[in-house]
Structure 1
């Protein structure tokens, strides 16, 4: 089974995993690596490597912020020949998409599904109110 590693500034990745588990139940194939305020790239890399090295098989990485230390550090691994997918802009719909695809055995469509989850609710409500007024 493919694994997912969430990387972030602070405990965002840990708390995001907890939120996903609140919705989806326990996720044994999702791991987190947090860059804490007192740490630098070296410490973060060591923690990431410990998680990645413990996994059997493929994994994907979701990062919180393009251009931030977690994403930049992981990007260097890809530039040095590591073979895994790295996505940035990590959010809860991305994790749900990953879990659903993994459970069903479908190909991952993280970008498409996540883009579709971004909706300005005001517009949705305006459209609903307009429809109700017509009836």
Structure 2
């Protein structure tokens, strides 16, 4: 099973995991690490290292989701890649990405799963407004 770490500014990481678990059930080998306002980067790095060590003990690949490329969670994980060569970092975390990961991570390896994660994340973004809504009742989409 591929392990999952979600790290964001503020408490979003925990909320994203909880939201996704409402859809697909409680997950194991899954950790959230929040970068709190006013927290030192050294303290944050230590938290990430501890969670990565815990996940690494399962002997599996680790996918790390972050909210923003170039932010503290991303930059800290990039620095930690030397000590944790089995991690991959994916930016722009959202619920569709996590859902895809949780549904497939038992059955595939990380290189196989990564394109599906990216596709799910981008396909989960759409714009709806009154002008884009069809008046043809037969074209209703399932939500």
- Normalised-by-shorter TM-score class: 0.7 to 0.9
- Does the alignment pair 1:111 with 2:114? no
Q: Select the structure that is richer in helix.
A: 1
- Tell me what 1:121 maps to: 128
Aligned length: 130
Q: How does 1:1-135 map to 2 (within 5 A)?
A: 1-55=1-55, 56-57=58-59, 58-78=61-81, 80=82, 82-83=84-85, 84-105=87-108, 107-108=112-113, 109-122=116-129, 125-126=132-133, 128-129=134-135, 131-132=136-137
CA distance in 1 between counterparts of 2:43 and 2:33 reads: 11
CA RMSD, Structure 1 to Structure 2 (Å): 2.1
Gaps spanning 5+ residues in structure 2: where?
139-143
Write the distance in 1 (CA, Å) between the matches of 2:97 and 2:80: 22
Cα distance, 1:77 vs. partner?
2.2
Q: 5+ unaligned residues in a row in structure 1: which ranges?
A: none
CA contact (8 A) 2:93 2:121 kept: no
Structure 1 residue 132: Cα displacement: 4.0
How far did 1:121 drift?
2.0
TM-score by length of 2: 0.81
Query: What SS does the aligned partner of 2:68 have?
Result: coil
**SS of aligned partner of 1:4:** strand
